[in-house]
Structures are given as C-alpha cells and as structure tokens.
C-alpha cells in the first residue's frame, strides 16, 4: 500500500468536486479499492501502486477536461475513467467556455473580426458604441491566452474618468476607491472564470486590474493587456500606455468616440492615436456599428435616437463628446 498525492491546480476545486462533492463520490465508487480524501486542491489516495497511478492519470484527464470546458458532468467522469473519449460540445468558433460550460463565441461578423485581428497583430483597436461586446470579447481572448499558457498574466486597465458625476472622497483603501471604475472588467471576468480561481489569480497578480495611471514606468511582458474606455485617455496617457508593450505581449485598445467624458478643452488620446498610427504595420483595427449591438434590443434604438437628436441640433452641431478637437 502506498500514499499518493494528486494536486488539482488548473481548475477551481469547487467546480471539479461538484455540488456537495458529487463528482468525488462518483470517483470513489469507480475506484472502490482505494481510500481517498480531498481537501482544497489536494487529493490524497491510498492503495495499490498500479491502481493509485491509474487514479492519478484519470484525475489529471478530468482536470484537463474541466479546465477546457469549465464543467464536469457525470457522463464525462464515467467516460474518462472507463477509457472512452467523452463527447465534446460542438462549437467550432468558440473562444472559451465560461462558467458552467457556457460557450463564449463571436456573435457577429465584427466580433469574429476582432478575434482574427487579435491573432494576427500585437496591437488591436476595437472601436464602436456601447453594447457591441468589444470589451467582453477582448477579455475572453485574454483569458483564452492565459488558459493556453501563451502568456503568464492578464492586465486590464481603464482611465479613472467620471461619467458626468462626482464620486467624491470614496472610503476604503486604494482598491476600494478605484473598483467602481473597473467593475465592468470584473463583471466580464466573473462570467469566464470560477470565483475561487479568479480570486486566486487576483491575489497572485496573474490577473491585474488597475487604473491607467498605475501603468507608468512598467514594461509589460508575457501578457495580454486590455485598455478599456480609451476615448477617455489624454494624448500623453495613451502614448505612455502604448509604449508599455513588452516581449511576448499583445494589447487590445477599446473605445467609443461618442462617449468622451473628458473636459471639452482636452483632446482624446484615442482619436489622436488612430490618426498617428494609421499606417503603422502590425496594428489591427475593427470598427463596430449600431447593428453590432448585442445587449437588449432597446439599446440599439436608444443609440439611434441620440444620433438623430444630435443631427437635428441647430446648425447641425456635433455632439458634445465629439467637439474636443
């Protein structure tokens, strides 16, 4: 009899063990000669050398499946332990599988274009109105690269610019003060990574979420870097951010030129960067439109209504957010 220790480090143990440890109860029944105990990410098993080795092999196969598809069902466990190839979900264009195995795929041609541009370039601009999914797809691409071990970390950033209201002196430490600006990024991550694993990534700085001002002086290597709401960067901020790109790194810049919250006298760095970099090789660009909005159908009608209102202003006045130049 020997004792073998198996470490589960690719997935959230809660997802792997199942509700009320249902998955581990099934595994125990499939290996009746072994004694096992699971705590956290460690599974301790006692038994015959050959059978404990087979147990470790099957657990690792189950872990790989769970890491890829973010779920583990009874049928999959039975197939893998019995040596059969488990049935895999058929989604040819899937980027990653989110919480509970939800496939995250491009939902329109421009989202698919963003995937292609990201794969072909080290710097990609994704531009368009709210609700087109540009930030969501960008974060999905970052999570995929991390899960495939193509990069060692994800860095997500936003300029801390208030959208027409003053938040005042927020209580708490630095994280508490900046979290309201960064909540949309957390929302996307929580859709894609189990809570326990996400917390582990955040605590170990594998996933870093920080306001733009914290990027100065850094060189970002082995990472996917996403700058969201880039229309609210100044000229100096976006130049500083773009020059952080290091080796084996990719960068996605998202923004909407119709939602600039900077003071009227301040030029948007995103708009200037698009002009300056338009002929630079190695840079991709995808422009989303109203037809690409994938939120509630009412969002598209709201965007169109505001566009009509702006065009009907006396003298054809441009929207305030576009008069910063």
Q: What is the pLDDT of residues 114-156, one digit of tens each?
A: 999 999 999 999 999 888 899 999 999 999 999 989 999 999 9
Selection from 35-39, 167-171, 305-309 with the highest mean pLDDT: 35-39
Q: How high is the pLDDT of residue 176?
A: 66
- List the beta bridge partners of residue 67: none
- Residue 277 DSSP label: T
* pLDDT interval class at 18 (50, 70, 90): confident
Range with lowest mean pLDDT among 58-72, 88-102, 133-147: 88-102
Structure tokens at 224: 């996917």
pLDDT of 34 reads 93
pLDDT in tens, 162-205: 544 444 555 665 566 667 777 888 899 999 998 888 988 999 99
The encoded tokens of residue 195 equal: 């809570």
Structure letter (DSSP) for residue 1: -
Which range (26-30, 31-35, 278-282, 299-303) has the least confidence? Answer: 299-303
Q: Is the pLDDT of residue 62 over 90?
A: yes
Query: What percent of the chain is modeled with pLDDT above 70?
Result: 89
The torsion angle over the Cα atoms of residues 157, 161, 165 and 167, rounded to 10 degrees, is: 70
pTM for this one?
0.76
Strands (E), 15-141: 35-39, 42-47, 96-97, 103-104, 123-127
Q: Is the pLDDT of residue 32 over 80?
A: yes
Residues 6+ apart with CB under 8 A from 32: none
Q: How many CA atoms lie within 13 A of 188 on its CB side?
A: 22
Question: DSSP labels for 190-246?
Answer: HHHS-HHHHHHHHHTTSEEEEEGGGGTT--B-SEEEEE-SGGG--HHHHHHHHTTB-
Strand ranges of the sheet holding 123-127, from the earlier edge strand across to the other edge: 207-211, 153-158, 223-227, 250-255, 123-127, 283-287
The answer to whether 64 and 88 have CB atoms below 8 angstroms apart is no
pLDDT of amino acid 130:
83
Q: What is the mean pLDDT of residues 44-61?
A: 93
What is the separation, in whole angstroms, between the first and last Cα of the chain?
Answer: 76
Residue 238: closest CA among 251, 224, 249: 251
Predicted local distance difference test score (pLDDT) of residue 91? 65
DSSP 87: P
CB-based contacts of 142: which residues, under 8 Å, 6+ apart? 151, 154, 156, 224, 226, 252
In the prediction, which pLDDT does 117 show?
Answer: 95
């Amino acid at each position: 009899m020997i004792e073998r220790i198996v470490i589960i480090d690719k997935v959230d143990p809660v997802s792997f063990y199942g509700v009320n440890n249902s998955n581990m109860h099934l595994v125990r029944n499939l290996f009746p000669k072994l004694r096992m105990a699971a705590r956290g990410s460690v599974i301790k098993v006692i038994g015959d050398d050959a059978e404990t080795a087979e147990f470790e092999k099957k657990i690792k196969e189950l872990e790989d499946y769970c890491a890829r598809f973010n779920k583990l069902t009874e049928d999959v466990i039975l197939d893998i332990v019995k040596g059969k190839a488990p049935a895999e979900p058929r989604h040819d264009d899937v980027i990653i599988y989110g919480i509970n195995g939800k496939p995250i795929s491009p939902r329109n041609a421009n989202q698919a274009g963003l995937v292609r541009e990201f794969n072909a370039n080290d710097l990609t601009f994704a531009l368009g109105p709210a609700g087109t999914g540009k930030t969501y797809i960008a974060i999905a691409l970052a999570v995929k690269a991390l899960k495939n071990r193509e990069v060692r970390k994800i860095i997500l950033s936003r300029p801390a610019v208030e959208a027409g209201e003053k938040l005042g002196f927020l209580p708490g430490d630095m994280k508490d003060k900046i979290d309201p600006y960064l909540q949309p990024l957390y929302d996307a991550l929580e859709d894609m990574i189990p809570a326990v694993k996400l917390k582990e990534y955040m605590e170990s700085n594998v996933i870093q979420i920080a306001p733009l001002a914290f990027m100065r002086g850094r060189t970002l290597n082995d990472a996917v870097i996403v700058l969201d709401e880039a229309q609210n960067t100044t000229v100096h901020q976006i130049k500083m951010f773009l020059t952080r790109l290091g080796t084996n790194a990719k960068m996605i810049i998202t923004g909407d030129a119709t939602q600039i919250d900077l003071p009227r006298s301040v030029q948007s760095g995103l708009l200037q960067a698009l002009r300056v970099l338009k002929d630079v090789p190695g840079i991709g660009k995808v422009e989303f439109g109203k037809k690409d909005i994938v939120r509630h159908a009412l969002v598209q009608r709201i965007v169109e209504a505001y566009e009509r209102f702006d065009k009907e202003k006396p003298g054809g006045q441009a929207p305030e957010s576009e008069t910063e130049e």
